[in-house]
């Protein structure tokens, strides 16, 4: 099931029906490649490719391993540790 929150109370979550199910890859694309494309910025950001702005996050684990198709648990994605964040290819010093 896919969990979400509703404005203005983000403290309560609820499950959407199975027709709203998304794979982990679809969810990652929904916060990277797709917004860049929708805002016509995909020539510069949204994916890691030569010539694009190097803004990215280094994670302690691969979120794709949390996909149920790989016998993973998508509820564990939020527990993946952020090792470092990079802006324009340079570390920001921000980690968790």
3-state secondary structure of 4: strand
pLDDT in the model for residue 96: 63
Report if residue 96 sits inside a domain: no
| CA–CA distances in Å: residue 25 to residues 21, 51, 87 | 12, 23, 23
pLDDT in the model for residue 84: 93
pLDDT in the model for residue 21: 83
Count: domains in the chain:
1
Cross-sheet strand order for the sheet of 82-87: 56-59, 82-87, 90-91
Q: How far apart are CA 86 and CA 71, in angstroms?
A: 30
pLDDT tens profile 30-85? 999 999 999 999 999 999 899 999 889 999 999 999 998 888 998 899 899 999 99
Report if residue 44 sits inside a domain: yes
pLDDT in the model for residue 16: 85
Domain that holds residue 21: 2-91
């Amino acid at each position: 099931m896919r969990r979400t929150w509703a404005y203005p109370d983000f403290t309560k979550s609820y499950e959407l029906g199975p027709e709203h199910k998304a794979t982990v890859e679809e969810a990652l694309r929904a916060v990277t490649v797709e917004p860049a494309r929708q805002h016509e910025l995909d020539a510069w950001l949204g994916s890691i490719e030569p010539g694009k702005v190097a803004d990215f996050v280094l994670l302690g684990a691969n979120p794709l391993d949390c996909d149920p198709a790989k016998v993973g648990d998508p509820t564990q994605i939020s527990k993946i540790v952020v090792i470092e964040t990079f802006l324009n290819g340079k570390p920001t010093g921000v980690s968790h």
